[in-house]
Structure 1
């Protein structure tokens, strides 16, 4: 009898959309477990060519952290043997199992990547979050955001240009001082405020002589709620506010913004504050594209509702994790918050989950372990709480808290670069910091 040839089944195509904390972590893990062995085809999609750890975006934006710490997605994908595709996610064709990508253009509006579609067998959405302007007039036109690497680079350039114009006289101000306004006193807002104060000091030491006067740069933080860091315990909030005031940062709580105009912030009580640079950091929500996905259910902050398995309610082959996922948190009878800690734990969980799905094994439910919060205040300061079964809940601040904060960044780099590269990078970075400028000045 003639022998019948059996075709080897094709490896599953796993597409991950979003190269943030969760997406890049997951792509790295799956490439090591499945991609190297040819057991799956891993593809990571993002509209940026590089990755920055989102909790450090305020340092990149202020110029106090060099852009040399970016991770090139082209180089990383080559080294880890997965596919990187440049594209802007705009939709899903669930019937044909296609991820739809919009074209990406360069600053001169020339095409870098065309409109196209990528096939998938398993799809993971890790598209993060975006600033929530709550419909406030003028925010989109007159405020800067800090959600993506490209926005961090733009803010750093705007900040440098602003200080240069002030020094040369090209910036005409009625009171001969700079006024920087941050709207929102969550972690991003308070960390950026402290980093801007550090940057102002570095500008003064690097030729911008007009900001040497103590009152030359006003940095203010506006918060509509009664206190800063409303999501964290009151004792942490109070310590952070005290540190901000010690840095001569004007903290105004109960200050609701009514609208933004060029060079001015209008409060609901009628107060008008002049502002040379305004940054909106008053809240986050899922990207707009989430609400445009047909057949998917959204929950808090416009995020995709998922089961405890992290599968979307609409399709078992489509998962969501990180800031864009509205995942149940039974311990708090609510949804998990959009935090880097959640994204990291979900990426680790998703590696095991996808391995189980490919092997035809039952899926498990995600369980979140809250290890506390840390907020960086200036170069050497930080405040936070650590949580664990052995230690309970303890509050730390100062040098110890700052070291704990930096260790989180190192652990992230270790997960995506490997132990050897992350350790070597930390050692070289520490050595080079002694000789390179403490502020990006170009």
Structure 2
């Protein structure tokens, strides 16, 4: 059978593996293998809620092995670090436990078609101290680590004899993109929920501070100005400190320094400024990459130097037809590309070489401020351009994006039952994670 290997179980990779498994895999027309370095999947746009503690990841994570069993593909645990294009073989590094003991030895997998969808990681641009003293929100593990640090900081402030020190309960978020502003709003709500459960020596309005530092002159620099202005008004209502036009030059254990000699004390720094593809992709076995490690691909999503290797999502640099720009690293692009590759793989299995071309469609953006607000802009030919939305309609549309992802993985009935179950159980649970 034709061997299709998908590396990366993010939203796009997992949706593609599921659809291919339900068709080609189930009918024994192709052998589908998904490789990922973690055992479970959580939708990446939820990570800021996990970090704040307003979402329990145990309730929302998906087991790759179970999904593979239900949908007729194979799952293999490990991190790809080598590629041999001549042998059509990917190599997976040994998998170790928390103590560094090898659990799974190095393995290799043959492919007829390789699809790389390993997403992106935070780009700290080599800023001094950023890697050591800040936390990114690229993975579920990082989000949980941040939540633990936040929770411990509040518990320490509650029980210590001395007064709360400057920066002890201040969170600094570097980067005012969607992740940064959504995290700031979610932290405002979650810290107040947390202190309501017997934390009586910490006054969130007085003691807990949230700051955002952004090198651009405004929030959400990649999105329309009206949307940016609306989000800024909401954050100022929440008393989030905004430092616009400030470029971070150093991060230390005590806080953050900017180019204007400003120092913001903070024990908790989140780095949410800029993205890049994982470092292992840089010139991997001769494939062409750009300065942020993205694999260069044609509009068929085939890599420029190997037609048997495809890449999509944040790790791919796909040209926008008729321009000198590339498709932005956004979830909607990965979803569109996964749908195109589903069609392409069915053609390749049949031996066809004339594959469909990807055309990027921008349907707009949504920014969720938790219970405070949701804003967005919708784009489409029916509206003749862009339409600004906010409030209930915007929140409903934001929630529907997650439901669409779940339906792609589980189907309508399973998603509906899960939604009803969550509505019932949520009433009997704390509104914030307390451990």
- Smaller-chain TM-score range? over 0.9
Choose which of 410, 421, 425 in structure 2 pairs with 1:432.
425
Change over 3 Å in CA distance of 1:219–1:339 after alignment to 2: same
Secondary structure at the aligned position of 2:206 is classed as coil
Q: Is the 8 A contact 1:310 1:366 kept in 2?
A: yes
For residues 12-69 of structure 1, what are the alpha-carbon distances to aligned partners after superposition, in whole Å with 9 as ceiling and x for unaligned? 1111000001100100010011111111111100111111111111111111112110
Aligned to 2:278: 287
The yes-or-no answer on 1:64 pairing with 2:57 is no
Matching of residues 189-200 of structure 1 within 5 Å? 189-200=180-191
The yes-or-no answer on 1:398 pairing with 2:388 is no
What is the CA RMSD across the aligned residues, in angstroms?
Answer: 1.5
Q: Is the 8 A contact 2:136 2:271 kept in 1?
A: yes
Supply the distance in 2 between the matched residues of 1:208 and 1:113 (Cα, whole angstroms). Answer: 44
Change over 3 Å in CA distance of 1:69–1:331 after alignment to 2: farther
Aligned to 1:217: 208
Choose which of 368, 383, 388 in structure 1 pairs with 2:375.
383
Secondary structure at the aligned position of 2:143 is classed as helix
Q: Is the 8 A contact 2:123 2:274 kept in 1?
A: yes
Displacement of 1:299: 2.5
Supply the distance in 2 between the matched residues of 1:332 and 1:176 (Cα, whole angstroms). Answer: 46
Choose which of 186, 201, 204 in structure 1 pairs with 2:192.
201
For residues 315-340 of structure 1, what are the alpha-carbon distances to aligned partners after superposition, in whole Å with 9 as ceiling and x for unaligned? 11100000000001126530001000
For residues 242-286 of structure 1, what are the alpha-carbon distances to aligned partners after superposition, in whole Å with 9 as ceiling and x for unaligned? 111111111110111001111211111111111010000011011
Q: Greater shift after overlay, 361-370 or 172-181?
A: 172-181
Q: Greater shift after overlay, 324-333 or 359-368?
A: 324-333
Change over 3 Å in CA distance of 1:332–1:55 after alignment to 2: farther
The yes-or-no answer on 1:307 pairing with 2:320 is no
Supply the distance in 1 between the matched residues of 2:283 and 2:356 (Cα, whole angstroms). Answer: 29
Supply the distance in 1 between the matched residues of 2:185 and 2:202 (Cα, whole angstroms). Answer: 16
Supply the distance in 2 between the matched residues of 1:346 and 1:98 (Cα, whole angstroms). Answer: 24
Displacement of 1:210: 2.9
Aligned to 2:74: 83
Choose which of 356, 359, 384 in structure 2 pairs with 1:364.
356
Change over 3 Å in CA distance of 1:41–1:172 after alignment to 2: farther
Q: Which runs of 5+ in 2 are unaligned?
A: none
Q: Is the 8 A contact 2:37 2:78 kept in 1?
A: yes
The TM-score with structure 1 as length reference comes to 0.95
Supply the distance in 1 between the matched residues of 2:176 and 2:166 (Cα, whole angstroms). Answer: 26
Aligned to 2:269: 278
Supply the distance in 1 between the matched residues of 2:387 and 2:312 (Cα, whole angstroms). Answer: 29
Choose which of 365, 385, 388 in structure 2 pairs with 1:373.
365
Q: Is the 8 A contact 1:177 1:215 kept in 2?
A: no
Secondary structure at the aligned position of 1:222 is classed as strand
Q: Greater shift after overlay, 399-408 or 170-179?
A: 170-179
Secondary structure at the aligned position of 2:307 is classed as coil
Choose which of 21, 25, 30 in structure 2 pairs with 1:35.
25
Change over 3 Å in CA distance of 1:367–1:351 after alignment to 2: same
Supply the distance in 2 between the matched residues of 1:176 and 1:269 (Cα, whole angstroms). Answer: 19
Q: Is the 8 A contact 1:41 1:82 kept in 2?
A: yes
Secondary structure at the aligned position of 1:211 is classed as coil
Q: Is the 8 A contact 1:48 1:150 kept in 2?
A: no
Q: Is the 8 A contact 2:36 2:79 kept in 1?
A: yes
Q: Is the 8 A contact 1:177 1:218 kept in 2?
A: no
Aligned to 1:7: none
Q: Is the 8 A contact 1:197 1:247 kept in 2?
A: yes
The yes-or-no answer on 1:256 pairing with 2:247 is yes
Supply the distance in 1 between the matched residues of 2:29 and 2:191 (Cα, whole angstroms). Answer: 52
Q: Is the 8 A contact 1:203 1:211 kept in 2?
A: no
Q: Which runs of 5+ in 1 are unaligned?
A: 1-10
